[in-house]
Amino acid sequence: MGRVLRTWVDPFVVALVITMVAGLVVPVPAPLRHAISVAGDVAVTVLFLVYGMRLSTREVLAGLRNVRLQGAILASTYVLFPLLGLALHALTGSLVGSALATGLLYVTLLPSTVQSSVSFTSIARGNVAGAICAATVSNVLGMVLTPLLVLLLMDRSGALGLGGLRDVLVQLLLPFVVGQLLQPFSGSWVRARRWLTVSVDRGTILIVVLGAVTAATAAGVWDAVSWTMVLALLALCAVLLAVMLAATWWGGRALGMDLPDRVALLMCGSKKSLATGLPMAAVLFPASTAAAVAVPVIVFHQLQLVVCAVLARHLARRAA
């Protein structure tokens, strides 16, 4: 039974939910909220420094040779996804409220995941090397493209505007560049210690979520969110994921890709990164807005894990 639960429910998402509930029900005084906010800023900077040290530049250059696959994944991530997000934001904002609608739009502007995209591509016997490159390039470009898209499409939805873009450059891109400069000396050491990157990754997200939720609770943001809005959000995330899965799978066929490349496009082009999205939201949005923005990111993340796990197993059986 325990193994079944671990297969269908990400334990880290459970930890996220517990953290959010704690932030909702436990009163946190202002000095402690400020301390959590500072700790979150430091953790985000360290996170992107580790990202830079972990990423092998050679892997990116090697994977870029498959121009058709890489271009299709980038177009799915940064063109088709945002267009769908704008449509959902315009048509369904009244169903989930302005705060959650903003968060859903933000989800569509994020880069693809890395670990789950590559893992599911491997399970489904797809092009793993192409998936590694595509997910990596998506996240590197996302440090610039996501803030620019937020500034362009969400300037009236609570984003911090040019100030937020400057913070991204200083707090995210600069430590990443420093990490890349250190990568030739420290990359092998960091990659050999996966526990380090996982701990920094997940610890940063938990701190960021706790800070965002406690700030939103203090500001009374949750008074306007009902259970019907949350259920409507889940339905909208399901629709968004279904459309992207169909578009990437059949789009790959229309482009004449072979099956391994279609699998890589399906798994990389239909996902959004929680690991990048939540820390970036803490930089791009005011604390009270960041909490509401975090909810759709978490919901979509868990949904994509469950659905793509089923698809990966089906494709693996089909290939066998």
CA angle 207, 213, 218 (to 5 degrees): 125
Instruction: Tell me how many degrees the CA angle 44-73-140 measures, rounded to the nearest 5.
Output: 25
Q: Assess contact for 272 and 85: CB atoms under 8 A.
A: no
CATH of the domain at 57: 1.20.1530.20
> What's at 51, amino acid-wise?
Y
Answer whether residue 165 shows pLDDT above 80: no
pLDDT surpasses 70 at 249: yes
| 2 assigned to some structural domain | no
Predicted confidence band at 242 (pLDDT cuts at 50, 70, 90)? very high
| pLDDT single digits (tens) 89-120 | 888 767 887 778 888 999 999 999 876 787 78
As for how many domains the chain has, the answer is: 1
Q: Residue 273 above 60 pLDDT?
A: yes
Domain that holds residue 165: 10-319
**Residue 80: band (very low, low, confident or very high) from pLDDT cuts 50, 70, 90:** very high
**What is the distance between the alpha carbons of residues 173 and 153, in angstroms, rounded to a whole number?**
21
Q: Where does the pLDDT of residue 54 fall: very low under 50, low under 70, confident under 90, or very high at 90 and above?
A: confident
pLDDT for res 156: 47
5: in domain: no
Q: Is residue 3 part of a domain?
A: no
Environment class of 75 (CB within 10 Å of its CB; exposed 0-12, middle 13-18, buried 19+): middle
Helix (H, G, I), strand (E, B) or coil at 56: coil
Let me know if residue 44 belongs to a domain. yes
| The token pair that represents 84 in the structure block | 């769908």
Q: 169 in a domain, yes or no?
A: yes
- Is residue 266 situated within a structural domain? yes
Q: Judge whether 244 and 81 are in contact, CB under 8 Å.
A: yes
- Tens digit of each residue's pLDDT (9 = 90 or more) over 275-300: 778 788 877 887 767 777 888 888 88
User: Is 295 within a domain?
Assistant: yes
Reported as a pLDDT band with limits 50, 70 and 90, residue 268 is: very high
Single-letter amino acid, residue 48: F
The answer to whether the CB of 261 falls within 8 A of the CB of 290 is: no
Which pLDDT score, from 0 to 100, does residue 61 have?
A: 65
Share of the chain above pLDDT 70, in %: 82
What tokens were used for 103?
């968060």
Crossing angle between the packed helical segments 287-319 and 274-284, to the nearest 10 degrees: 160
Going by pLDDT thresholds of 50, 70 and 90, the confidence category of residue 162 is low
Half-sphere exposure at residue 105, Cβ-oriented, CA atoms within 13 angstroms? 29
